[in-house]
Amino acid sequence: MNWAVTTYDSAFGYVSAHGAPLVDLLDPQPGEKIIDLGCGTGTFTAEIAERGAEVLGIDAAPEMIAQATALYPGLSFAVGDAHTFTTAMPYDAVASNAALHWMTRDPDSVIAQVHAALRPGGRFVGELGGAGNCAELIVAMQTAWRVFGLGEPDLPWYFPSPAEYATRLEDGGFTVRLLEHADRPTRMVEGPDGAADWVRVYARSALADVPPELVDPLLERVNELAAPALRRESGWVADYVRLRFAAVRKPDGTAPMPEGPPLNGGAP
Ligand code: BEZ
Q: Whose CA is nearest to atom 7 of ligand 1?
A: 202
Total domains present in the chain = 1
Please choose, from the candidates 215, 248, 243, 252, the residue with its C-alpha nearest in 3D space to the C-alpha of residue 99: 243
**Residue 231 falls within a domain, yes or no?**
no
**Residue 45 falls within a domain, yes or no?**
yes
**Residue 20 falls within a domain, yes or no?**
yes
* Ligand 1 site residues, Cβ closer than 6 angstroms: 98, 101, 129, 133-134, 157, 202, 240
Report the distance separating Cα 173 and Cα 153, nearest Å: 35
**Residue 202 falls within a domain, yes or no?**
no
Name the 3-class secondary structure at 54.
strand
At residue 254, the pLDDT reads 62
State yes or no: pLDDT of 89 exceeds 80. yes
State yes or no: pLDDT of 113 exceeds 90. yes
Mean pLDDT, residues 5-30? 62
**What percent of the chain clears pLDDT 90, i.e. is strictly above it?**
82
State yes or no: pLDDT of 213 exceeds 80. yes
How many other CB atoms sit within 10 Å of the CB of residue 26?
Answer: 28
Residue 35, domain CATH: 3.40.50.150
**Residue 12 falls within a domain, yes or no?**
yes
Tell me the sheet residues that pair with 255.
none
Q: Whose CA is nearest to atom 8 of ligand 1?
A: 202
State yes or no: pLDDT of 25 exceeds 90. yes
**Residue 209 falls within a domain, yes or no?**
no
Q: What are the phi and psi torsion angles at 252 (to 5°)? A: -55, 145
Answering whether pTM is above 0.85, one says: yes
**Cβ-Cβ contacts under 8 Å for 194 (sequence gap 6 or more):** 188, 223, 226, 227, 230, 231, 235, 236
How many other CB atoms sit within 10 Å of the CB of residue 21?
Answer: 11
Name the 3-class secondary structure at 232.
strand
**Residue 221 falls within a domain, yes or no?**
no
Asked which of 14-18, 72-76, 99-103 is least confident by mean pLDDT, the reply is 14-18
Query: What's the pLDDT band for 252 if we cut at 50, 70, 90?
Result: confident
**Residue 61 falls within a domain, yes or no?**
yes
Q: Whose CA is nearest to atom 5 of ligand 1?
A: 129
Please choose, from the candidates 59, 118, 119, 66, the residue with its C-alpha nearest in 3D space to the C-alpha of residue 83: 59
Report the distance separating Cα 147 and Cα 142, nearest Å: 9
Q: Are 40 and 70 in contact (CB under 8 A)?
A: no
Tell me the sheet residues that pair with 231.
236
Which structural domain range is residue 78 located in?
5-131+157-189+239-249
Report the distance separating Cα 85 and Cα 102, nearest Å: 16
